Structure formats: structure tokens, C-alpha cells
Amino acid sequence: MAFYYEEPSRTFNEYLLIPGYSSKECRMENVSLETPVVKYKKGEKSTITMNIPLVSAIMQSVSDDKLAVALAKEGGISFIFGSQTIENQAAMVKRVKSHKAGFVKSDSNLRPDQTLKDILALKEKTGHSTVAVTDDGTSEGKIQGIVTSRDYRVSRMSLDTKVIDIMTPFSSLVYANEGVTLSEANDMLWENKLNALPIIDKNHRLTYFVFRKDYDSHKANPNELLDENKRYMVGAGVNTKDYEDRIPALIGAGADVLCIDSSEGFTEWQKDTIDFVRSRYGDDVKIGAGNVVDKEGFLYLAEAGADFVKVGIGGGSICITREQKGIGRGQATAVIEVAEARNDYYEKTGIYVPICSDGGIVYDYHMPLAIAMGADFIMLGRYFARFDESPTNKLNINGNYVKEYWGEGSNRARNWQRYDLGGEGTLSFEEGVDSYVPYAGPLKDNVTLSLNKMKSTMCNCGVITIEELQKYTKLTLVSATSIVEGGAHDVILKDAVSNQLR
């Protein structure tokens, strides 16, 4: 008969952290959420570290270039989804890497022979009042001038008025030459009392704008995650089918770290993919693998050379792998066992292989639980799908705003490569659903709130670093009745009464 675990597999919902002694040092402003992303040797430091322990899932409905920039500003990494053409995925990576902090490509451009009517239509479309006037009406054209809302009055001008008659001409513009630093550009903005500073190359072509309003935004993102060239960091997902073509394209586009995207990672196909990376790039290219749920799976991928290992099968909110195939494990139990294996491996080899908890996060308090159990960082799908920056549609259903969210195992995603076991190039059956999630607003506001909760929890536990959280905190199992006790109970909630009275 098959091996049988005596203990049931458990979820994060079945645990609580026990408070510890908090010194005066334990204040939220002193908490560091820095965490390693890729493996390193004892006495050394990981070559990629994040400022927060959050990454976004390798999913069509979650991780595109827009979300990647937003998350990098907060200190985390997005893994651009791989269930698209190689060219499209590489282009997304390239857009993230070319999105210089503070330097903005113009998305509002017109030709001199266009009209005020065109200006107003463009403003309605983009929401931006600064319009670059170029010879061909593109962001790369030779700049002729700039139009702002101060240059026209709709009530007193004809909509047929030509742009050339409204704009501030190039001869009167204050501009900076390509190569200027952000600090120098901001100084020019303030010294000349400008709202926008065009950056021009040697051929008089517009390359970027630097806006006064972005100065405060830049200062508001002290945790932003940048590479050595001050570019936002970004990851990308790959599969075990077309990796020989996809990986070189993604590396060429500038991807900082890769991850094999698979529903189950304890396979020879994953080793083949890692072997390809090591034979072609050595240790210069970083690639994670997974997903696994036990010690054996972790050791297989660690010894194969994975830079980090993803943990979790069937715990995602849109994943139905467990009910379809009967495989998986409670996320808390999986993380605890794999973390123990990771620590033993570190003691024996001197190589620390970070682990990523993927799935099972329902509430914000599950995040510090996952970290305390040994995860170095957390991959989230549903969480990020709710935000403005995710690539899905925002809809109004029965008076409530929602965003679309679908699994990579759904027919909508058509990501058969993620579930392939050497068979036909089709999705045999669905392992994910197509759904909605409640719309939650901007990424920054929500991530800040979630991480403030995590920092507060850590202070209650008497720790101020992730390493201390893993080393010194205590966990307790909770009963079903104590879970009920932990929420509001034995009271009449005002919201419930208000709803009944309507």
C-alpha cells in the first residue's frame, strides 16, 4: 500500500503566531522586509534581494509590464507570464527595463498641422494635459514644440485652430540633452519653474519627459527595486517545452530572473531546463523551479541547480488541481516540510536555496505566517489581480466593481505547456477556473497596508527582520472553535442591521 502520513496536511488558517517580548527597538519603522531571491553560499549574500517578500504570479490575468513596474516601485518582482508568444513576452520585459524611474515616454503626441480638436480628443483619451508636438506625431519624432492646458482656452478659440498656432515652439523651450541624470533634470524643473522638461537626443528627437509631479512620486517609493543600471527589476516565466528559444529571448530583453512555470515540478523536464541554462549561461542566469510540496521534491530541484524553489500545489484560489486529480498538500504543511529540508540542505552543503510559498494566502495575516514557517518570499495571484495595474478588465456587476481573474489551467488561458507531461500539445482537462475578484484600487495603497500589517505582527513577535521572524517566533495550531473566537462574535454588527433596514 502507499505511504501514509499520520498528520493531516494543514492550511495557514489553522495556525496563529504567539506574541514575543518586544523591546523598544520593535517599531514598524525599524522593520526590514529585505529577503533573498536566489541561492547563495554561506558567508555570502544573494545576488538578487527584494525589499519586500512579495512576487506576482506567472499568470495572464496578473503579471504584465504595467504591474511589473508598479510592484518594482514597491520593492518586489513580477514574473511576466509565459503563456504568450516569445516575442510578446520579451517585449513586455523590455518595456519594464526601459521604463526609467522618473523618465516617461510621451504617450500624447501630435503633429503641428493638427488642431485644438485633436488636442482635446487626445487629452480625453490619455488624461494627460502635456502634449508633445513632433514632426510625425510620434513620441520618437523631431520635437517642434509643446502644448499644455495653459496654451489655450476652449471657450474663446475655434476647435479648428492649428496646433502650430497654440504650441510653445522649440526655440522657446527649456530642455535637457539625453544623458542627463534624474537629479539634474529635477534641478532644471525647479530652477525654471517648469511642470515638464523634455529630454532631447542629438538629432532633436524627443526621448523622454521628466515631470515635476513625479518628483514627489519618486521620493514616495524608497523601496523601489533597481538593478545596477537603475532600471526596474523584472522576472519572467518559462516552460519546459520551448525554453531553448524562449530563455535566450528573455535574457536578451533584460530579464533579471526566470522561473519555470509548472503545476508540478518534481520532474525530469525541469532538470533538463535547468541543465540548458547552466550549460549555456553558467550561474550568470538565475532560474527558479517548482512547484513541489515535500522534502524529496525540494532536494531534487536544489541538486538540479535551481536558484529558488516554489512550494505549493492546488492551493490557489482559482486552482482545481486537487479536486480534478487528487494531488496536492495543505500549503502550511508543505512550506514547513520544505523549509526544514532547505535548512538541512544549507547545513550539509553551505548553499542556501530560498523557497517561495505559492498559494494558500487568503488573508493578509497569512503572509507573516508563511514567512515564519520558512518561506523567503510569497507568490500571489488573486491578491494582485484585484488592482488597477493588473491587465484584466474592470467590470461593474450588480453595482459592484470587479476584475476578471482566470487560472493558467483554464481553457481561457490555453496554457497546456504548464500541465504537459510529454503528451499532446493540448489541455487535456481544466485545472483552473475563470472568475472575478473584487476590485481593490491601486497596487501601492494595498501593498502598503498589507506590509504594515506584517510589520506590526513582527513587532508583536519581538522581531524586526525576516530572518528573526523565522528563527525566534512560535506557532500554535488552532481549533475550529478558536478560529470562530478570533473573529467578531456574540454581537450584532451594525452593517448587518443597516442592510436589513434597507
**Residues with catalytic function:** 319, 418
What separation in angstroms does the CA of 295 have from each of 138, 396, 500?
55, 45, 52
Q: Give the torsion through C-alpha atoms of 278, 281, 282, 285, to 10 deg.
A: -90
Rg of the chain, C-alpha, whole Å:
25
Sign of the dihedral defined by the CA atoms of residues 393, 396, 397, 402, in that order? positive
Separation between Cα atoms, residue 357 and residue 28, nearest integer Å? 24
Separation between Cα atoms, residue 25 and residue 470, nearest integer Å? 18
Three-class DSSP labels, 337-353: HHHHHHHHHHHHHCEEC
Separation between Cα atoms, residue 362 and residue 444, nearest integer Å? 19
Instruction: Name the DSSP letter for residue 253.
Output: H
Separation between Cα atoms, residue 31 and residue 460, nearest integer Å? 12
Q: Which helix (H) or strand (E) holds 176?
A: strand 176-177
Q: Which of 232, 166, 230, 169 is nearest to 198 (CA)?
A: 169
Separation between Cα atoms, residue 388 and residue 179, nearest integer Å? 32
